Amino acid sequence: MRNFDVIVVGGGPAGLSAAISAARGGMKTVVIERGDYPGTKNVMGGILYTNATNAVVPEFWKEAPLERPIIEQRLAVLNGDQSIMAGYRDPAWAVEPFNAHSILRVPFDRWLAKQAEVAGVMIVPETLVEDLLYEEDAVIGVRTGRAQGDLGAKVVILAEGVNNFLAVKAGLAKPLTPEIISVTVKEIIALPKETIEDRFCLEEGQGATIELFGDSTAGMMGVGFIYTNKESISLGVGTNLGPMIRHHWTPNDLMENLKSKPYVKRLLQGGETKEYLAHLIPEGGYNHVPRLYRQGVMVAGDTAMLVNSLNREGANHAMTSGKIAGEVAAESIKKGDTSQKAMAVYEARLRNCFVLNDLYHYRRMGDMFENNPHLLKTYPEIFSKAAKMYLTADETPKKQRQKEIMKMVFAHRSKWGLLKDAKNAWRTLL
């Protein structure tokens, strides 16, 4: 059996970051990836955060295949054909030190894998890890789908993505359930770069994002998104699987529903769909984070449920958790102690940084939306009706109009209901 110090399962942002930090710590490291090369199996909405990436590959923006630096983030709430919008734009985000970039995962992950190779990591593609190998309680390697495919390691890092087969087999994670995952589909829609810049009011090379709530997901728990790439748009929509099943939606119908919204339609006009993708997002939050380690193994990225869906942050949680796992692996191996206690340092460090901090902070969010499905239906309706009433100039005196608006609000939701929702939101988000 061939032996390594560290085996990383999965060549995505978590796995590659783990491998890079382990290799930099002097470890003989291998990444096992089931795709043709790292990237070909990987999907995300498309936003990569600068800070977390820079910690793995300093000044990555000078070489990495990025699409556009994001200078504007818009939020839109759709109610039928109507939309309400808010946004923040800052041209300072177009230059160093940036905040985030849109990316396409196939070229980006391939590039990140190259950085791993430069750091000394061996990448083994086209290979599926089918199980872990154990010696009593300790994980001592992996079993791959290849002939004589057992590989030994002092530490295994599981970054197998959202489908947590191995983490479940290892007794670390529970099987996923419909209420904690979002089924997301995405299209890459080609448009000339000048058209993108005109439609989104961008200077050359700059990028924007729009997240769309409310009727973008037919009022179900979820979100639609539009991200600008260099010469394409990533258009996506995802909803929690539970409501999608109950309300008899198909993912593609949701996509077409979103495309048909007047505001969205105009942004995409004339574009040509180049690819249709599907992916799950683990949205269970803090209460569904699995056990993160046991003797000889750690879990990182989506496999560890490390996604902050409210702020649509995931790539950064993946990279930071991977990086820390790689460091802990290297430190433990050097000390000759890969016991459960040594691996526990990993969790402690995640708790001391934004990764578990943010998940803990928003730990009530999943329950709030699950127990209050009206939030994403009633409020888009209230807000857009209020905006329409307030902004329509029909000679109604404004004082009277404001009274009418309050009456409309209370017709949708009682005073008691409004107070309850406000208290809930306060408790959950602040």
Interface with another protein (CB under 8 A) = 34-36, 39-44, 104-109, 125-128, 144-146, 162-163, 165, 175-178, 181, 183, 185, 187-188, 232, 241, 244-245, 248-252, 256, 259, 273-280
When the beta carbons of 269 and 340 are compared against another protein, the nearer one is: 269
Pairing label, strands 232-240, 222-228: antiparallel
286 and 360 Cβ atoms separated by less than 8 Å: yes
Nearest residue (CB) to another protein, 12 versus 296: 12
Please state whether beta strands 29-32 and 207-214 pair in parallel, antiparallel, or not at all (unpaired): unpaired
Q: Running DSSP on this structure, what letter comes out for residue 96?
A: T
CA angle 399, 402, 407 (to 5 degrees): 130
Burial code of 74-95, b = ≥16 C-beta within 10 A, e = fewer?
A: bebbbbeebbbeeeeeeeebbe
Residue with Cβ nearer another protein (244 or 355): 244
Shortest CB 183 distance to another protein, Å: 5
Task: Rank residues 53 and 127 by Cβ distance to another protein and give the closer one.
Answer: 127
Which of 180, 271, 285 has the alpha carbon at shortest distance from 233?
271
> From the CB of 165, what's the least distance to another protein, in Å?
8
How many other β-carbons are positioned within 10 Å of the β-carbon of residue 126? 13
Give just the sign of the alpha carbon dihedral 252, 275, 52, 203: negative
Using the minimum distance from each CB to another protein, give the nearer residue, 154 or 186: 186
Which residue's CB is nearer to another protein, number 115 or number 127? 127
Is the alpha carbon torsion for 43, 45, 46, 48 positive or negative? Answer: negative
Q: How far is the CB of 358 from another protein (least distance, A)?
A: 24
Q: Which is nearer to another protein, 62 or 248 (CB)?
A: 248
CA dihedral 149, 158, 310, 429 (to 10 degrees): 160
Least distance to another protein, CB of residue 241, Å: 5
We find the least distance from the C-beta atom of residue 364 to another protein, in angstroms, to be: 23
Which class for 177: exposed (0-12), middle (13-18), buried (19 or more C-beta within 10 A)?
Answer: exposed
What is the Cα–Cα distance from 24 to 378, expressed in whole angstroms? 52
In angstroms, give the least distance from the CB of 42 to another protein. Answer: 5
Helices (H), 170-250: 193-199, 241-246
Per-residue tokens: 50: 């600068």
Closer to another protein at the Cβ: 125 or 152?
125
Shortest Cβ 307–another protein spacing (Å): 15
Instruction: Pull the structure tokens for residue 141.
Output: 């390697």
Q: Minimal distance in Å, beta carbon 130 to another protein?
A: 9
Distance separating alpha carbons of residues 210 and 157, to the nearest angstrom: 34
419 and 404 Cβ atoms separated by less than 8 Å: no
Least Å from the CB of residue 246 to another protein: 9
Taking the least distance from each CB to another protein, the nearer of 26 and 178 is 178
